Structure 1
Amino acid sequence: MIKIGTIGTNWITQRMVEAATATGEYELAAVYSRHEDTGKAFAEKNHCQQVYCSLNDFMSSDQFDTVYIASPNVFHFVQVLETIQHDKNVIVEKPAFMNPRQMQRVLDELTLHPQVRLFEAARNVHMPAFKAVQKTLAKVHQLAGADFVFSQYSSRYDLVLAGETPNVFNFKFAGGALADLGIYPLYDAIGLFGLPIKQIYYPTMIAIGADGKGTAILHYADYDITLNFSKISSSKHKSEIYAGRDIIAIDNGGEFTEAKLITPDETKVISPKYVKNPMIPEMTDFANVLNHHDNPEIQRQYQAWLQLMQQVNETLNNLAVSAGIHYPDQFKE
């Protein structure tokens, strides 16, 4: 049984705990929160006895072997680094890191702790539909690009309109549309098509100075891929991959819960709609890696995810720079 400790008590952490429990592979062993009341309420709801308000005491605990991090983006780098240094595995919400320097520093630290495993919780690439699309693309010729869409109106934008600055729209906390929803279609594109030759981001800035929505264009040798994402508006447009007369249609670039192959003659479901907790597939994949350190094939898959994580981090940074966006950096030599 994988013993897990959590940093963060928001809705995504609750969803993760429910998914982890559903796999039968994890046990929630500890909760960290800066606020004791919040930590106790979360722990009690999830039948956990141990609550920490000191991050140092939490990291030093021997009650768990894996840490799930869902703090504001700006804190991920330092918390991941500290977790690895305490020889604990890490599952960190996306974006794990804000630039390649942070990513490389963490990779260097991993070499000093060879038993530790690091995962970025980009759930879409672990979904059955994503894997089905990968298999379908292996048989496809005449690729002509793709459009990936993930737009969901954020209730926190109502706070912005009321004159507040919530963390998810605050560059001081590495917020904004690109660093939040944009990660999902980035994972789609790079996970399916590899690194682009070049990339550019066209953001729509909101009054408090963050990008509320945006369009990114990834240029490949023979086609372009367009990413559209927004936290200030919603969209029901499907994501599509173009291959001659055929189309691979996905519900959207973030959820990736179902996929169809549309040809001139028929529409074929290649992956039916996934209706369970969407974090179950990723938590299952992570448990498989953590429980099978001696399986070469499983560990090669882990290394492929780690490489993909690095490629997404590089492209995220390039997109931000192209738009003049600079996130805070807690990296210290």
Structure 2
Amino acid sequence: MLKLGIIGTNWITDQLIDAGNITKQWQLTTVYSRTEEHAREYSHKFDAQEYFTDIDQFFSEGVFDVVYIASPNSLHYQYARQAIENDKHVIVEKPAFTNPDEFSQIEALLQAHPQVRLVEAARHVHTPLFAAVKQQTSNLKQIQGATLTYMKYSSRYDQVLAGKTPNVFSLEFAGGALQDLGVYPVYTALALFGEPNSVVYFPTLIATNADGKGVAILRYDQFEVTLNFGKTTNSHLTSEVYGLKDTLVMDNPADLTKAVYYDDQQVAHPIEANVAENSMVPEMQEFAALFEQPDDQAQLAKYQQWFDLSRQVNSLLYTLRQSAGIKFPTDK
């Protein structure tokens, strides 16, 4: 059983721990939080054996094999670097890093620690249903584009309206809609269609100067893909991939639970695949297989695919930000 350490004690961490428990391949052993009270409470909540409030002690003394990093985006690089230097495997919450320079530095560090593996927690691309959607997309005789939508109102936006700057809407912490919900449609587009020829992002900026929502357009040789995402409103639109007379429809590109293929005659063919109640279960199963057999050739092949896709996502997010003039302190 893999021993898990965590950085970041919020709802997404709760979900990951629950997924690990469901797979019976993971055991939470170690918690890091900046405050003693929070660290103690969280470790007791999940029966972790130890907690730390000093990040250096966490990495040097903590009894764990893998660290899950769910801190504010701008801190991912720092913590991932420390993890690799201490020979800990890494699951880093999306977006993994804020720019290609950070990504390339982490990649070089991994080469210096060849037994360490780093994966990005993009849960939807590891699900059986996403694999079935990808297969159906590849079967389309002609692709004329896609529209991928994921808008979900964030309770933290209430704080913005009250004049505050929560981390998820802070440029200092590399926040904003693109860096959060926007990662899901970006991942989906790259996984289904590959890298585009050119991109542009039209953000709607909010009081914190971060993007609250926006529209991105990815241009390919024969078609365009439109990404709609945001954290300041809710959308009930589906996402679609357009063939000629046929269409592939998904409920949304993040919490993917339903997909239907409409053929040339507009007959609906539901795409059958197992959907876990906790959407993180498939990725935690795949990550466990990798970390338990890091040198297995089949696992290495999967790992390389995941890592290459993560690099492409990182590059595309950065290019989209640059097109919109959105800059983070880490870009310096």
Q: What is the TM-score with the length of structure 1 in the denominator?
A: 0.97
Matches within 5 A, 1:179-190: 179-190=179-190
Q: Secondary structure of 2:229's match?
A: strand
Determine the structure 2 residue equivalent to 1:268: 269
- Cα separation, partners in 2 of 1:260 and 1:201, compared to 1, 3 Å: same
Any conservation in 2 of the 1:78–1:330 contact (CA below 8 Å)?
Answer: no
Deviations 1:40-96 (A, max 9, x none): 111111011201011000000251110000000010011101100100000011111
Determine the structure 2 residue equivalent to 1:68: 68
Determine the structure 1 residue equivalent to 2:55: 55
Matches within 5 A, 1:116-131: 116-131=116-131
**Identity percentage of aligned residues:** 45
The letter for the 2-side match of 1:271 is E
Any conservation in 2 of the 1:185–1:254 contact (CA below 8 Å)?
Answer: yes
CA distance in 2, matches of 1:66, 1:158: 35
Deviations 1:82-132 (A, max 9, x none): 100100000011111111100000000000111111011011111221100
CA distance in 2, matches of 1:11, 1:21: 15
Determine the structure 2 residue equivalent to 1:249: 249
Matches within 5 A, 1:15-54: 15-54=15-54
In structure 1, runs of 5+ residues without a counterpart are: none
Determine the structure 2 residue equivalent to 1:212: 212
Any conservation in 2 of the 1:3–1:66 contact (CA below 8 Å)?
Answer: yes
Matches within 5 A, 1:159-174: 159-174=159-174
Determine the structure 1 residue equivalent to 2:299: 298
Matches within 5 A, 1:5-24: 5-24=5-24
CA distance in 1, matches of 2:62, 2:209: 42
CA distance in 2, matches of 1:10, 1:212: 21
Q: CA deviation at 1:272?
A: 4.9
Q: What is the TM-score with the length of structure 2 in the denominator?
A: 0.97
Q: Secondary structure of 1:107's match?
A: helix
- Cα separation, partners in 2 of 1:294 and 1:173, compared to 1, 3 Å: closer
Q: Secondary structure of 2:217's match?
A: strand
**Which portions of structure 1, spanning 4 or more consecutive aligned residues, are displaced by more than 3 angstroms?**
none
Q: Secondary structure of 1:274's match?
A: coil
Deviations 1:197-245 (A, max 9, x none): 0100000011221110000000000000000001000001111111111
Q: Secondary structure of 2:31's match?
A: strand
CA distance in 1, matches of 2:208, 2:131: 39
Determine the structure 2 residue equivalent to 1:194: 194
Instruction: State how many pairs are aligned.
Output: 331
- Could you say what the CA RMSD is over the residues aligned between the two structures, in angstroms? 1.2
- Residues 261-270 or 51-60, more deviating: 261-270
